Every structure is written in C-alpha cells, then in structure tokens.
Structure 1
C-alpha cells in the first residue's frame, strides 16, 4: 500500500488499484473488502512515510507490516516495492501491534535523534524559527490541532472555536486536504492558522532532501489551491515531533518555522472528554503549545472536551493566542 500525488495505490496479488482524491476511509474500506474475500487473510505493507494508514487498518483488524530504511525510496517506497517485500521478505519487516503507532519499535532511535537535535533547537528558538512551547511567555497559550482536515470533526472544532472566540492552528495532512478542500477553505475563512503536517504523515528524518521537498511542497500547494490564493504557509509540525539536526536545518533553510508542543492531550486515545480537559489543564504553563487532534479517527471526545479546555484556560488567567502572537513574545 503506497501513497501518490493523487491519493492511494493498492498493489495486490492480482491487480493494482488507484484511489484518488479521497480520504483514508475509502482505501481502508477497500482493503477490508479484499481481506474478506481472501481465504488466507490479508496483510498490508507500509513504510514510515505512510503514517495515515496503519491506525485505521489496525482498527479494522488488518495486520500491518512496516518497511524500514533503507527500503523507502526518497519520499516513500512505491506500492509495488512494498508488495514485493511482503511477498519475498516478510521476516525483514516490522509487525505493528494493534493499537500501536507507526513507529513502534523505533522509540530509542527516535529519542536519540530528538536529544541530538537539542543544540539546533535552542538556536532556532533564539532566532524565532521554532516554537517548542512552555517558554514562559506570560499568561499566553496556543491551541493546535493535527491530522485534518476531516469533513465531520474539523467543522465541529471550528464551531466551538467560533462560539468561544478562540484562535487555533490546524496542521493539515496533504492527502486529507486534497480530499476535503472545502474544509481547508473554511479553516482559512474563519481566520485560523493553516500549517503543514506533511503529505502522508511521514517520519521526516527518514527522508532525504528530495523526499522532504515532496512531502512539504505537495501539501503547501494543495492548501494554497484549496484557499484559492497563494497565501504563505509558514508553520510546519513534523509528524510524531520527529526531528534530527539535519532535518531542522533543512526545514529552516526552506523558510519554515517549526511548531512542537509541550502539552499533549493524548485525545487520540479517547479517554473521555473530562480526562482530555484535565490533561490539558494539568500540564499547561505560560507559553504552552497545546496538541490536540481534529482527525485521524473518532474525535467526538475532543470536540466535547474543547469548551472545558477553553473556559478552563481562561479561568486560570491564560489568554489564547495564535502561534504568530506566541512566537513574537518568546
């Protein structure tokens, strides 16, 4: 299973299928259908540039294998390459646990890369090219939402923000923006910030310069097309917060400002609206960047928790501002 400039590519034992300009629900539904018709079951092979696929596939009960570097071609491995690996070398692939995440098994490697990035991060923060959160910028905080746009949950999040007159940033996955341009336009028309969250939720340190450019440029172009103008997309959030010194320098050279976070609602785990709100309010501090999600699964609990998050922050004396405003005072 691979991603392309127009959508998703399924390479099976008997046929190749291309599904274009659609949300992830359509390829997942198609794979569920194929699995039901396959006597011995179906296993899907992805790589670390295909982070939109493994969660929904796992939730649908379809086993997922991940191909690791140096397998991915710069920007993501073609579906044909992944299918051949699944047939010929399944033992060389990593089985993703149900309910796990795309990078399962690589936690130590990722943590080491994050630690090595610290000197570059400090420089970028000083130069106003990175926002890490929690920098003590007075009683100011920023709300951010990842993985959209989603045709159901993003508009509901926007409705809550409008009722409470609260700004936020939406870090969009290019494939989702391609499938739902009207939702992107609504984010922009509401005066909210649009950010780049890569084309396919890729772990960016695995990619070279060509792959990085493809992931970021395609997403930038789709967001601009959806808005009907060439407004600059200044902000990047690397999926999983994945970074390396080389990646951060490359992103800076592209003129993008990296937004990390220091408050993680972990709303993707769906612990209940009250728990989501308590997590945010329990972690927040001056200058915090709060991470939530408006897509990637059922986000009804996030929508339900958001009013309590906003009113709770304000009751504690915090003012909710946009990323640009927060960066200006850090």
Structure 2
C-alpha cells in the first residue's frame, strides 16, 4: 500500500514477488475506499493475504486490523529515504517477510518501537526548551493564566468534523484542527468551513507519518503537500502550525521543522478518545488533567469520533465552570510571548 500526491496506490504481489494484477490508484479520497478494496482482496485470496505499510502510512492499519486483515510494517533501515511505492512495499512482503513487524488489532502503528520513541523524546527535551523560548514550539500546561486550547487531529471527516464544528459554534468556542493532507484533499469543503468559522488550521502531515523516520526529502513532501492542500481548500494563507503524529520527535526533526518556519504544537492533556472509552470518560479526563495553559488533544477523524463530539459540550462547559477561558493557538502563543518579554524586562534582584 503506497502513497502519491493524489492519494493511495495498491500493488499486489504473489509469494515470489511477481505482480498479481495491475496497480490500482485511489485519487482524492480518504481511507475508506482503499480499505474496502483491501478487505475485498483479502477475502479473495485463498492462500493468505497481508498488507504491507511503512510508518509514513499511519492511518490505515487500525481500520484494516479491525476488519481482520493482517498488516505488516516495514521499518528503517530496510527502507530508503524517498517516497516508498506500493510496488516496493508489496515486494518486501514477498522477499523480506522476516524483517516486517506484524501489527495487532487494538494496538497502534508504532507498536514495538516504544522504547526507541521514548528515548528520542527524552533526547529532544533541550531542543524543545530552546525552541519554546524562541516561540517556535508550544507545549501544554505552561504559564499561570487560566487559558486552555482545544485541538483536534486526523480530520477532516465528512460526518464527525461538522458535528464538532456545530458544538463549537453553539458554545462560541475556538479550536485548532490539525489536518491530514489526504483528508484535506478529499474533503476540501470541510476544511473551508473550519476556516470560515474562524478556527485555526494546522498541518498533521500528508499521511499521519512518524516524522523521525523520514529524511529531508520525504519530510518536505509530507509537510509541503499538506500545507498546499489546506491552503487550496481554505482559500489561501499560511499554515504555520505543525502537530507531529504520535507527538513523534527527535532533536534533528525539531530543528528541521523550526528551520522550515513551522511552529510545533504538542499537548499535555491526552484524552485517548480514539479508543472510544465513552463520552463521560473523555470529558472527565480533560477536566481532571487540565491546568493553566493546557493544550487538549482530541480527534475529529481517523475513525468513529462520535464520542468525541458527544463529550465536547461537557468539556467546554466544565472548563468554563472551573474558570478557564478557551483560546485559539494564536492567543496562547501571544500570551506566552508576552510573558517572556515581561520576564526578560523584569529587574534583577541583588
């Protein structure tokens, strides 16, 4: 299963690595159509069937495993930098099966790499602090003002994003939507509505890629293609905010992102709404974990997000009842910048 600038490509190889039919292209669509086709191919395969993805293709596996399709992940170093094609991934499934990682149902795309990811994040801490001091990175929970930013990842979605937008409209609440480029391409009208209703649009990569795996060429493609799709849908304008999928980061990645002019946005309140624990649980997690300056992570795409939409009224009213003001990312960043200036200008005691 590979990606192009227009969408998805499916290439099927037999056990000897030979093509088993023509490559199929799915243009200007989200995951539903290619997933349905892969499920169909799995049913038609008498001798077994598996889908090979790489860590740059992180929005397919959960839907496929939920449908009972085996999914294998190809990791560096067996992948070269540059765009991984459907044909090359299919060939890997036939020729280097022992090097691929089986993804289980209920898990996540980066399963088995938790320690590596944790180590990279710990190594990133000094760079994070420096970039935050420069206004090139936003972390949640910093500051003393009772403000909170709501953020939504993995959309847009034609059903769940409009439901969330309607709740935000009724409660006059701002939010930021970090869009996957392929979804922005497929549902440009929803992107335009987000912009028209005054919310912030951010970059969540072209295909939900784990960015530390990518070299400079593929990183640029993931970010630039997404920015162009969002800008085209929203009527132009810059897209200065980046939410790295999974929060994946390394010192080198953070430096490259900052050099590209983007501001990385992390979070401190994780709802795990993607696991669908129930609207009451989602709301309770936000209200229990929130603190001044929090950035709340929720999702409007990538799966069934009806529980997120159902939880949102209680999240908004609960935060306001506790004295918090909901602000856009721009306001949160401006407040942090003002606090830095005030600190820098404060007299030093002797």
TM, length-normalised to structure 2: 0.93
Could you tell me which of 78, 101, 109 is aligned with 1:102?
109
- Which residues of structure 1 form unaligned runs of 5+? none
1:18 aligned partner: 25
For residues 76 and 110 of structure 1, the distance between their equivalents in structure 2, rounded to whole angstroms, comes to 22
- Which residues of structure 2 form unaligned runs of 5+? 14-19, 337-350
Structure 1 moving runs of 4+ over 6 Å? none
1:218 aligned partner: 225
Q: Per-residue displacement from partner, 1:110-158 (whole Å, max 9, x unpaired)?
A: 0000000000000011111111100024100000000000000000000
For residues 151 and 41 of structure 1, the distance between their equivalents in structure 2, rounded to whole angstroms, comes to 34
2:282 aligned partner: 276
For residues 82 and 299 of structure 1, the distance between their equivalents in structure 2, rounded to whole angstroms, comes to 30
2:255 aligned partner: 249
| More moved, 76-85 vs 183-192 | 76-85
Contact 1:137 1:326 (C-alpha < 8 Å) held by counterparts: no
Instruction: Return the offset for 1:218.
Output: 0.2
* 3-state SS of 1:214 partner: helix
Contact 1:75 1:215 (C-alpha < 8 Å) held by counterparts: no
| More moved, 208-217 vs 75-84 | 75-84
Inter-CA distance 76–95: structure 2 relative to 1 (3 Å threshold): farther
* 3-state SS of 1:117 partner: helix
Q: Per-residue displacement from partner, 1:228-273 (whole Å, max 9, x unpaired)?
A: 22x0101000000000000000000001000000000100010000
TM, length-normalised to structure 1: 0.98
1:60 aligned partner: 67
1:195 aligned partner: 202
Q: How many aligned positions are there? A: 329
Matches within 5 A, 1:134-149: 134-149=141-156
Query: Does structure 1 residue 165 correspond to structure 2 residue 172?
Result: yes
For residues 319 and 185 of structure 1, the distance between their equivalents in structure 2, rounded to whole angstroms, comes to 26
Matches within 5 A, 1:201-240: 201-229=208-236, 231-240=237-246
For residues 286 and 308 of structure 2, the distance between their equivalents in structure 1, rounded to whole angstroms, comes to 11
Could you tell me which of 277, 300, 306 is aligned with 1:294?
300
1:261 aligned partner: 267
Instruction: Return the offset for 1:329.
Output: 1.7
Instruction: Return the offset for 1:302.
Output: 0.3
For residues 25 and 232 of structure 1, the distance between their equivalents in structure 2, rounded to whole angstroms, comes to 29
| More moved, 67-76 vs 88-97 | 67-76
Higher gyration radius (CA)? 2
